[in-house]
Structure 1
Amino acid sequence: MRDFSISGSRESAFAHALAAAGVAYAISRACKDGQLSSCGCSRMRRPKDLRKDWVWGGCGDNLEYGYKFTQTFVDITEKERRYKRGARAQGKSLMNLHNNEAGRRVSR
């Protein structure tokens, strides 16, 4: 059986993007809900395209904090390692970082 985590397949790319998006979403929501002491609500104002009859509570998901936290937390495994320049493992690591970024951008 083929190990997709080593080979750098489309499936592993999707898994990296999905994991990064999930972490960013969970952290953003936890900030808004007051479950993390290091952050709080987003500072964004009422969205202009929000219907006038909807009540705006003023406390949205803190997507900025979730994005930054995910960059540090999810990418650390790829950034800790040192690879020989041009090695296959270096290419896979750069691809994983790219896929993590893609997942974070989707969650925004």
Structure 2
Amino acid sequence: MKKFRLYLMMTIVSLCALPTVTYAGDKNPAATEPKEIPVEVQNKLDRLEEIKEMDKSDLSRVEKKELRKEVRTIKADLKSTGNGVYLSVGAIIIIVLLLILLL
């Protein structure tokens, strides 16, 4: 059992000692193809641009308030569409090891 712990500790140390620099994308980002934007997201972005370019000086107070609410809801929708939880391989290994040790 002592050898197992020793080997486990050596494995953990060797994994931590590896270079931790990783690249999220290619080294040449200009050569990559642009990602397609879904239609509903593009419509929301277009609406935000329309509101930004709109002349708001002749609008009433209530209309300005409605526009602000619309902008907030659109931005909240856009933020919620692309979010997710991403775990690296190292984090998954550490979680598994902790589960093994604790259980």
Shorter-normalised TM range: 0.3 to 0.5
Question: Which structure's relative contact order is higher, taking Cα pairs within 8 Å and 6+ residues apart?
Answer: 1
Q: TM-score with structure 2 length normalisation?
A: 0.33
- Larger gyration radius, structure 1 or structure 2: 2
Q: Which has the higher helix share?
A: 2
Q: TM-score with structure 1 length normalisation?
A: 0.32
